[in-house]
Amino acid sequence: MDRMLYLSMTGAHELMRAQALNTNNLANATTTGFKADLEAVRSLPVYGPGQASRVYGVTEGSGVDLTPGALQQTGRELDVAIDGQGWIAVQAPDGSEAYTRAGDLHIDSFGILTTGAGHPVLGNSGPIAIPPNAKLDIGSDGTITVQPLGQDAKALATVDRIKLVKLPPDQVIKGTDGLMRLRGGGQAEADGSVTLVSGALEASNVDAVGAMVRLIELSRLYEAQVKMMKTAEENDRSASQLLRMG
């Protein structure tokens, strides 16, 4: 009886974790450049005194879906999207280098170019600082040029170049902050073959309909585990009554 109860209990617990992972994907279905988390369940034996006669299920992240999202034209001069494979290098909150596909760029109050989430965008020598300007342009290679205030339209100045990189898919890990990093740490080298599309953003690659269907499926599986626990309780109660009668 205890095996049945333990199995259903661990199953319900891990299904709750799977629901949390799926719900997070669904919540980010409209987040620019978001990459969906993948889930996997595996069975592991419970080790302890005696034989490993108990098994429990474990839900764990099995990686990230790196499929590019659809490009959406915005016409905004600070919006950029990666054309094909590649990543934009940014500075993570802990000061390390990380990578994102979210190209909804902004200029903060200090003149630093950041993503919509507030992460400074990296250039040739660190975070990119944008001087006061009348017009700004981001080229397909990431080069940023501006028309300084008070200058003629032809008087363009190159500010910096956004660091664009390519990451081996099997070496990409996703942090809790939503940024990508190289497995084992380290920094990727700038790759001149990565290009940008100006005036566009990459949408999330989450399949909202599929995530909703998965959410319903996980809910029903959770209910099945709860019913199994109730059945184990009823069986235990019936067994106790039979023993008292004897």
For 79-138, write each residue's pLDDT tens digit.
999 999 999 999 999 999 999 999 999 999 999 999 999 999 999 989 999 999 989 999
Show the tokens assigned to 188. 């990727």
Same domain, 188 and 97: yes
Residue of 61 and 159 predicted with greater confidence:
159
Looking at residue 199, its pLDDT comes to: 95
Same domain, 180 and 78: yes
Write out pLDDT tens, residues 12-57.
888 888 898 899 999 999 999 999 998 777 666 767 676 666 666 6
Looking at residue 87, its pLDDT comes to: 97
Same domain, 192 and 81: yes
234 has a pLDDT exceeding 60: yes
Same domain, 132 and 93: yes
**What 3-state class would DSSP assign to 122?**
strand
Same domain, 53 and 85: no
Same domain, 139 and 218: no
Looking at residue 200, its pLDDT comes to: 96
With 0.85 as the threshold, say if the pTM is over it: no
Looking at residue 4, its pLDDT comes to: 75
**What 3-state class would DSSP assign to 243?**
helix
Same domain, 140 and 188: yes
Number of domains composing the chain: 2
Same domain, 48 and 104: no
Same domain, 46 and 104: no
Same domain, 228 and 163: no
Please state whether beta strands 133-138 and 143-148 pair in parallel, antiparallel, or not at all (unpaired).
antiparallel
Looking at residue 62, its pLDDT comes to: 65
Range of the domain at 59: 2-66+206-245
Cross-strand bridge partners of residue 147: 135
Same domain, 178 and 120: yes
Same domain, 76 and 124: yes
Cβ neighbours for 143, distance < 8 A, ≥ 6 positions apart: 158, 160, 161, 162
